[in-house]
Amino acid sequence: MSGGIMTAQTLAQTTEDLVHANRILMRKGVLDAYGHVSVRHPEDPRRFLLSRNLAPLFVSTADIQVHDLEGATDDPRPGYSERFIHSELYRARPDVHSVVHSHSVSVVPFSVVDRPLRALWHMAAHLGDGLPVYDSRGAVDGENLLVTSRSMGADLADVVTARVR
């Protein structure tokens, strides 16, 4: 739903939609067992919904946690360590309504070659001249390849949102 119009939905409807998104994206190969999808809270843009740390195929409505833009939640169950990808993208882009973190086998190879990801047909024209690639190896938290802090999430958000500012 990035950049689009978010229709007025209840929290219950949005939660149910997020559960379906987890399962659909997993079954279509966009998400693997470690990927995650979130959605901005329908009633409070300073919060977002993300499941607890669980493989997307098994997510139910009871597994959805509410996070603030600091990545914090009142839910005591373990959440995703990379929730800062979501929190910092929502902070940087108020117009973004959903974030997907994927390890898709059709996309990951592009992260290790020195070639831009470019549009090959008209339906991908929104990519323009290519997409920015975030390299966590040189990120603010050193050797950790996971985006597990607000500072790393902000670094990622700076890279991937630079073209749209």
Collapsing DSSP states into helix, strand and coil, what is residue 21? helix
Exposure class string for 56-81: b at 16+ Cβ within 10 A, else e: beebeeebbbbbbbebebeeeeebbe
CB 154 within 8 A of CB 144: no
| 43 is an active site residue | no
Point out the catalytic residue in the list 16, 43, 70, 82.
82
Cα dihedral 76, 86, 138, 155 in deg (nearest 10): -120
CB atoms within 10 A of CB 132: 13
Label residue 18 exposed, middle or buried (CB < 10 Å: 0-12, 13-18, 19+). buried
Catalytic residues: 82
